[in-house]
């Protein structure tokens, strides 16, 4: 019964048209820059950045038996990722945001031309 669930999703993945895939490829860089802009705006609003940091803890788990029949225990690493605050230079972050917005305008114009090309190449 479990096999039918992933198979049911296959038609949804194939539902993207050639035009939609072309537009997605044309706007990939623009979407990435917009993501960076969103992150920089959040950093400036908070006054600090959030970075992911891994913390390793060890759990004790049973991992077999010794030759005398007693249980054997092992230390197993448990990795946890947390978002922690990091101090940033607010002036540098503002300058980075300004540069990203300039790049966004440039990529937006470029993406608009590529989207029109996709629409003419793959009419729906």
The predicted pLDDT at position 11 comes to 52
The number of angstroms, rounded, from the C-alpha of 106 to the middle of its chain's C-alpha atoms is 23
36-70 as b/e: b if 16+ CB within 10 A = ebebbeebbeeeebeeeeeeeeeeeeeeeeeeeee
pLDDT of residue 1: 44
- Cα–Cα–Cα angle for 52, 56, 61, nearest 5°? 140
| Prediction pTM value | 0.71
- Quote the pLDDT of residue 123: 87
Strands, E assignment, 39-114: 49-65, 71-86
Q: What is the pLDDT along the chain (124 residues), one digit of tens a residue?
A: 445 555 555 455 556 899 999 999 999 999 999 999 999 999 999 999 999 999 999 999 998 898 898 999 999 999 999 999 999 999 999 999 999 999 999 999 999 999 999 999 988 7
What sign for the dihedral angle of Cα 64, 67, 73, 79? negative
Quote the CA–CA distance of 117 and 25 in Å, as a whole number: 12
């Amino acid at each position: 019964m479990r096999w039918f669930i992933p198979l049911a999703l296959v038609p949804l993945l194939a539902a993207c048209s050639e035009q939609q895939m072309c537009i997605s490829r044309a706007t990939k860089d623009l979407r990435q820059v917009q993501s960076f802009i969103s992150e920089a705006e959040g950093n400036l609003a908070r006054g600090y950045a959030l970075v992911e940091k891994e913390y390793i803890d060890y759990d004790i788990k049973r991992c077999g038996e010794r030759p005398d029949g007693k249980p054997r225990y092992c230390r197993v690493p448990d990795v946890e990722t947390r978002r922690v605050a990091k101090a940033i230079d607010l002036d540098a972050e503002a300058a980075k945001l300004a540069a990203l917005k300039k790049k966004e305008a440039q990529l937006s114009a470029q993406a608009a031309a590529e989207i029109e090309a996709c629409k003419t190449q793959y009419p729906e």
